[in-house]
Amino acid sequence: MEGDLPKPIGLKAALGSVALSARKSCFHLREFHPPAQENKYPLTYPTLGTSQMTKRLAVVDIDLCVGCQSCMFACNRRFGEAGLARSAIKIQSLCGYEKGFLVKVCRACRDPACAKACPTSALTKRAGGGVILNYAKCNSCGNCAKECIIGGVQWDSMTDKPAICVHCGYCIKYCPYGVLRLEELPVGEV
C-alpha cells in the first residue's frame, strides 16, 4: 500500500512549474512597447486629426466584464508605466462574480458637471461630450471627482490630479470580452 502513494516533492519544485507557466503566459507583457511620448505629463491631449468624427468610449455590455482589469493596465501603459495608479478607467467589484462588476469611466457627458465644478477652468468641454484636462491650470482641489455622479473621474496619485479618459480607445484592444467600444459621432450630432 505504501508503494502506491506518490513520491512527495518539495514546495520549490511544485511552485517552479507554476512560476514557469506564469512566465510563459505573461511573455507578451515583456514584449509590450508603449507608444513614444515626448512629454510624460502632457498638458493637452492628442487631437483626432483631420477626421470630422469625434469619439467616445462606451460600455457595450457590463455583464460581459469578469473584472480582469486588463483595460486598467492598458490605460496606465499610455504613460509607459506598469500598475494601475494612473488609469482613467476603474473596474469595481460588486461583491464578486455573483454580483458582477462596475466599469467606472468618463461617459462623455454633454453637460459635464466636473467642468462646472472646476474653479480654475482646467477642465474644458470636449467636442462630442466629456472634458479635456489642462494640467497646468489644475490646482488638485478634487471638485471634479466629487461632482461626477457616475464616478468617472479617477485620481492620479502620481501627479495628484484627476485622471480623465481621453477616449483614445487604447483600453479596448486589451479587453478580452468586448465590454468596451469606441463610438464615432459626427461633430454636428453632439
Angle at 48 between CA 89 and CA 127, to 5 degrees: 75
**How many domains are contained in the chain?**
1
Q: Decide: 61 and 125 in contact? Cβ < 8 Å.
A: no
Determine if the pTM surpasses 0.95: no
Taking only the tens place, the pLDDT of each residue in 37-48 is 444 444 334 443
Residue-level pLDDT at 31: 42
Which pLDDT band holds residue 21 (cuts at 50, 70, 90)?
very low
Dig out the grid coordinates for 35 from the structure: 507608444
Whether the per-residue pLDDT at 33 is higher than 70: the answer is no
Examine residue 101 and state whether it is found in any structural domain, yes or no.
yes
Examine residue 92 and state whether it is found in any structural domain, yes or no.
yes
Identify the domain containing residue 140 by its residue range. Answer: 42-189
Examine residue 59 and state whether it is found in any structural domain, yes or no.
yes
Examine residue 20 and state whether it is found in any structural domain, yes or no.
no
For residue 54, the domain's CATH number is 3.30.70.20
